Structure 1
Amino acid sequence: MADSTPLLSDSDKPPETRRSSRSLDETIERCIGGFGWLQIFQAILVSFAWVFDAQQTFISVFTDAQPSWHCTDDSVCDKSSNICQLPKDSWSWDWPAHTSIISEWGHECSTSFITGLPASSFFMGCLFGGLVLATLADSTFGRKNMLLFSCLMMSLSSIFTVFSSNIWIYSALRFINGFGRATVGTCALVLSTELVGKRWRGQVGVLGFFCFTLGFLSLPVMAYVNRGSSWRSLYLWISVPTILYCILVHFLVHESPRWLFVKGRKEEAVTTLKSMAQTASALTMSFSNVLIEQDSASGNDNVDIYSSIKIMLNKRWASQRLAAMMVAGCGIGMVYYGMPLALGNISVNLYLGVTLNALSELPSSLITFFLIGKINRKDSLLCFTILSGVCSVMCVVMGRVWPSLQIAMELISFFNACTAFNMALIYTLELFPTCVRNSAIAMVRQALVFGGVFSPLLVAAGRKNNLISFGVFGVAIGICGLPLIWLPETRGGTICDTMDEEEHKQNEKAAAAIPTLA
């Protein structure tokens, strides 16, 4: 439902209440009609990048898995034996050796550092990629071009991964893959939400999470179909479609009009808004007034590369918000990326376990989609992190007392981590203005990835003791969520475009909270 506040013309407003952010919001609302068919199409197309993001993130669950094996000489071999202490001719893999990098390159007896190196390299690449590329979408490239660059780099590096000859080259290419992938979800989220009005901001943001779930769900299907084929074919299955997707985005998706306004490219922004207008009255509206009103919004924050990070650090309120969200993101990321990798440590079929984890993202996205406009961001995020932590610790207890319920606790913990992941991105999107929004979300995503860097190592160490993996996961997400207590609530608030506007809004809230003295 559109904002119930009457839309006044600029001449009707007193000088002290004229605000460029409201003028821009009204302009976008009038031009795109809230959420027309063109916005639906573009939001879906942009959000579809999350499908490829999910596939690249979790593909190592299958390509880097420890394959099952069987004895060929019962006189010296037993299924309970240590494979590293058996003669090579006394056992054999259940599937061809080329189905996994572990069996193809003979790393079944390598240390957990070696076997976990490719997955950790991917997350390290995501971390560095986020730090290097985070502000380019805010400063020079824009949302659309950065999305194209990231998708292309992710796809091409994945194709080159097919030609890896050893685990070291493979790990290096996984690092490059993670580097390129780092900003895909961020750009897709920001671009899709900035193409629509306030009413649909949360729902469009959740649309990306549905696409991520779709990508996650597609992995066990493709892996099962290719279960006897080389792990290299799985990379081709997820790489080639990404290139075709980039072509569609280049020709069919608009750049964010908000970003164009903030960067001073007002004529391009007006052209974009006109092309997205839903009605004849919107087409004939006076864009010249908008150009004049947006001078203040585009002049103060026309920043260079990386200066948006400096802007946030120079503002105490912004640095406090960023720090709190990054701490929470680190704990959420440790559970979110670690749980699927840890499925091999519990008694469950790998294909079934990954499918159940992927399916648990679906109700998570549905809950976020339907309740995003009704629930408080801060309180719900706190609840999800605490519940995820408790259930993760319960995985350790159930593994020792009631092993059959261990997968249930794992699924509940992962479900809450997924919902917390979704809510954290929506919350961050609303906490920061347009001029630094992409950078803020990118930094929070890097905190999520930073938690994921440690997940493969904890999972490898937890193969003998689940307390090292599931126990650490639970404690980390529970403690890291506590700084959220000091953040403001953003549900139903107006999205701002500059730092000054955000400060003005906070000052107004603070003044309203002070009781009037007689």
Structure 2
Amino acid sequence: MEVSNSNQVALPSMSLDETIEQIIGRFGWSQFMQAILVSIPAFFDAQQTFISIYADAVPKWHCNTFDTSCNPKSNICKLPRSSWSWDEPSHYSIISDWGLECASSFITSLPASSFYIGSLIGGFTFAILGDFCLGRKNLLYLSSLIMSVTALLTAFSTNIWVYSSLRFVSGLSRSSVITCSLILLTERIGKRLRSQVGTTAFFSYALGLLSLPAVAYTNRGSSWRILFLYTSIPAIFYFIITYFFVYESPRWLFMQGRDKEAIAILKRIACIEDRILDSYLSNIHHRQEIPKVNPYTSMKDLFKRNWALKRILAAMVIGFGVGVVYFGMLLGVGNLNFSIYLSVIFNASLLIPSNLLTLLFISRWKRKSSLFAFCTISGICSIICVMVGKGREGIQIGLELASFFCSSLAFNVLLMFTIELFPTSVRNSATSLARQAVALGSVFDPVLISIGRKNEFLSFGIFGLTMLLCGFFVIVLPETRGKALCNTMDEQESKDSTMV
């Protein structure tokens, strides 16, 4: 390269994607701080996603000593209320607080199901906003703030119906948190470290889940309302304070024709010499403009183009299976006759090594083969967990942990895989659809877990079978490891045709 009179470096003609790659290819301090700030919303998302494990728990009870007719194995609904008492204070969970111990499975599972139904609807409703008017950053913070404020209001619920409605709104708003975090991370990092940095959101999510049993155990003698207060108030302060320090995705800004804003952000996160940076930025100024993409047209293309339709449907089917097991294992730990605090801690602890493995090997793993293997092993372990039967809690919890571990690996790989399968113009929408398929799988978990207290096959058995069947759909997807990201549907289609 030669230095021109303007003290800039003469550069060969490059596409916009290649230019951005050269500017942000190195990972510096600014990008590191941005990765941390963008990953933390996943911490609070995990707390609200699984808070029902404790807030909606069915408390244990004991017979009062003065009543000899009471039997610990009796049906609690057939005993006089004066003959038994809760082991914990009555305000421990919504079940004991509102006297729902004899309510139907539909009623007791309604709050959790409402949350996941809200997540499902919100993903389809808000997904396009991340590709269109709001962008990655604004959608991330708006979703996270509404989720946290709703959680705060949930602490003041007066009955199961108000509680379920607020949980629905919370699920509706948080549906885009993980998706926006991942995309905002990956679109601002060069392809060399894109996969590794993207996993920081998974680590944050794992820490959020791991913190939940600690907060619940510390306040085990307090009301379930306190749990909502302790998990929502810090989140609200965080989102208000850090909003002004997080940058938008330069790629998305370029797609919206907001070049000046995109260039300003590239200057802040670049880790190259100023004279080289100026040359790259000059190259951007003289590039051919990318026409602003209509998001509705792009979404239409997502379903009109055969290759895109095949990819999104396959990703959604796999996501459904992953969601059934991933959320089912965590929500169903109460059915295994094991400590509800230790069970969640064990499962949450496994997210750390699963995320670490993803971080270390995602650049080496082939997406298709690794995703298929994780789905298969997870499904088999879940089915064997049922076959072992009750009375062998140690073996059961071991198989449950193995199944959850593999499902979390499958979840991580699926999200990274989906991000790489689609161009910038529809990446948020496509990833949200796959993410919402995961949410769809979780919608059925509370009901299956409730009826699974009498027949474990209706919970863990169905979890495993679903995962096994859905895993086979990975066969129709192309391998994406090490491939560059495209910006438009036409560019993606052209690139795929050239590769074929």
What's the TM-score, normalizing by structure 1?
0.92
Note the C-alpha offset of 1:294: 5.2
Cα distance, 1:282 vs structure 2: 4.3
The question of whether the paired residues in 2 share the 8 Å contact of 1:324 and 1:483 is answered with yes
Secondary structure at 2:459 match in 1:
helix
SS of 2:485's equivalent?
coil
Pair 1:56 & 2:48 matched:
yes
Q: In structure 2, what is the equivalent of residue 513 of structure 1? A: none
Measure, in 2, the Cα distance between the counterparts of 1:265 and 1:70: 65
Contact 2:24 2:266 in 1 (8 A): yes
Which residue does the alignment assign to 2:439?
Answer: 449
Distance 1:451 1:121 in 2: 13
Which residue of 2 is the match for residue 515 of structure 1?
Answer: none
Amino acid in the other structure paired with 1:60: S
Give the residue type in structure 1 aligned to 2:311.
R
Alignment of structure 1 residues 335-414 onto 2, 5 Å: 335-400=325-390, 402-414=392-404
Distance in structure 1 (CA, Å) of the matches to 2:327 and 2:445: 7
Q: Deviations over 1:176-226 (max 9, x none)?
A: 000000001111111011111111110111111000000000000000000
Q: CA deviation at 1:387?
A: 0.4
For these two proteins, the number of residue pairs brought into alignment is: 490
One-letter identity of the residue aligned with 1:90: S
Aligned to 1:91: 84
TM-score, with length taken from structure 2: 0.95
- Contact 2:315–2:474 under 8 Å retained in 1: yes
1:231 pairs with 2:224: yes
* RMSD after superposition: 1.5
3-state SS, counterpart of residue 298 of structure 2? helix
The farther-off stretch of 56-65 and 236-245 is 236-245
Percent identical across equivalent pairs?
A: 49
SS in 1 for 2:62: strand
CA contact (8 A) 1:210 1:362 kept: yes
Matched, 1:256 2:249: yes
2:22 to 20, 26, 31: 26
- 1:402 is displaced (CA, Å) by 4.1
Distance 1:337 1:292 in 2: 49
Q: 1:124 to 1:413 in 2, by over 3 A?
A: same
Name the residue aligned to 1:288.
Answer: 282
In structure 2, C-alpha distance between the alignment counterparts of 1:94 and 1:294, rounded to whole Å = 70
Aligned to 1:67: 59
Q: Aligned partners of 1:405 and 1:239: how far apart in 2?
A: 36
Aligned partner letter, 1:258: R
CA displacement at 1:280 relative to structure 2? 2.4
Unaligned runs of 5+ in 2: 1-8
User: Following the alignment from structure 1 to structure 2, what is the Cα–Cα distance between the partners of residues 252 and 260?
Assistant: 17
What are the residue-to-residue correspondences of 1:202-351 with 2, within 5 Å? 202-278=195-271, 279-293=273-287, 295-296=289-290, 299=291, 302-304=293-295, 306-351=296-341
Larger mean CA deviation between 392-401 and 458-467 belongs to 392-401
Which residue, 35, 45, 66 being the options, matches 2:27? 35
1:152 counterpart (145, 149, 154): 145
8 Å contact from structure 1 (residues 138, 308) kept in 2: no
Q: Whole-Å Cα distance in 2 between the matches of residues 38 and 208 of structure 1?
A: 17
Matching residue's letter, 1:63: A
Which aligned pairs between 1:469-488 and structure 2 lie closer than 5 A?
A: 469-488=459-478
Structure 1 gap ranges (5+):
1-8, 511-518
* Conservation of the 8 A alpha-carbon contact between 1:162 and 1:235: yes
In the alignment, structure 1 residue 106 sits paired with structure 2 residue 99: yes
Contact 2:338/2:393 (8 A) holds in 1: no
Counterpart in the other structure of 2:38:
46
Write the distance in 1 (CA, Å) between the matches of 2:191 and 2:198: 11
1:347 partner amino acid = N
Alpha-carbon separation, structure 1, partners of 2:298 and 2:49: 27
| Aligned-residue offset at 1:314 | 1.9
